[in-house]
Structure 1
Amino acid sequence: MTAATERLLTPGEVANLFRVDPKTVTRWATAGRIGSIRTPGGHRRFRETEVKALLSELTTEATEPVRH
């Protein structure tokens, strides 16, 4: 998928994936923890591939056994 055809997610959709409040997603974007783009109307949108990569990375970290 090219950048022009990549699916863009709303803060609510991202929040559902991470099981957090949409305001949390907005705070993450403001802090630079997750990249976002703005629509011509000023709304935030998130690239699906970036969101899924971050979710996968965090899920992997959470499920790896603790090494002593």
Structure 2
Amino acid sequence: MATKSPDAQSLLTPAEVAALFRVDPKTVTRWAKAGKLTSIRTLGGHRRYPEDEVRQLLAGIPQQRS
């Protein structure tokens, strides 16, 4: 059984993010390309999004990008 390390962040797929915002997954990809969301690429080239950042954006909390 795999366990997560304490500093490992939870990542969401484009479909999961799209379901939260009620938009198409391609819209989520466009947001990432526009710099509105941070995306991480898997080894297979798929995008994943940090759950904490998505939840903050969903709640309307302004973020400072570094």
Band the TM-score falls in, shorter-chain normalisation: 0.7 to 0.9
AA aligned to 1:31 is A
In structure 1, the residue corresponding to 2:60 is in which secondary structure?
Answer: helix
Bigger-Rg structure (1/2): 1
Aligned to 1:42: 45
Give TM-score, length-normalised by structure 1. 0.77
In structure 2, the residue corresponding to 1:23 is in which secondary structure?
Answer: helix
Identity of aligned residues (%): 64
Counterpart Cα distance in 1 of 2:14 and 2:21: 11
CA deviation after TM superposition for structure 1 residue 11, in Å: 0.1
Q: For structure 2, which runs of at least 5 residues remain unmatched after alignment?
A: 1-5, 62-66
1:28-67 mapped onto 2 (5 Å cutoff): 28-57=31-60
CA deviation after TM superposition for structure 1 residue 6, in Å: 1.2
CA deviation after TM superposition for structure 1 residue 37, in Å: 0.6
Counterpart Cα distance in 2 of 1:22 and 1:33: 14
In structure 1, the residue corresponding to 2:45 is in which secondary structure?
Answer: coil
Counterpart Cα distance in 2 of 1:33 and 1:9: 15
In structure 1, the residue corresponding to 2:49 is in which secondary structure?
Answer: strand
Aligned-residue CA RMSD (Å): 1.2
